[in-house]
Amino acid sequence: MKRGDAPLGPSVRLLKVGEAMRHVLADLLARGEARDPDLEGAIISVSEVRVSPDLRHATAFVMPVGGDEAAQAKVLKALNRVSKSLKGEVARRVNTKYAAELHFRLDESYAVGGKIDALLRDPRVARDLAEGG
């Protein structure tokens, strides 16, 4: 690969750092170490953490379990409020050169997966799949 060519995806190092951050964030949230009233009692799934190539920014994809969209938005705002305190603990446990700025986003993959599942369960689709097989 030439020097100017960009790789097709994140490097193995970025994937490992992101996975380590995901484990730490999941542990911190499960233990209730994110101090915010809107997060009390909330069960939050951390599905992925994507790290920028310079390791200065990390986007955590989360999904609050249960609740409607308003409750999910409330939890997301709370996570972004406490991101600075979580940043220090994640940096301490993952031990990277820089403490990455944490950004939280709702993980839309659950909704997409639900739509695909509903489509596959549709009787017309099931009939077409049976005829094609």
3-state secondary structure of 4: coil
Domains and CATH numbers, the chain: 12-107 (3.30.300.20)
Report the chain's mean pLDDT, rounded to a whole number: 86
Spatial CB neighbours of 125, under 8 Å, sequence gap ≥ 6: 119
3-state secondary structure of 118: helix
Per-residue pLDDT tens over the stretch 90-104: 999 998 888 999 999
Predicted model pTM: 0.77
Per-residue pLDDT tens over the stretch 17-31: 999 999 999 999 999
Per-residue pLDDT tens over the stretch 115-131: 777 777 888 877 777 77
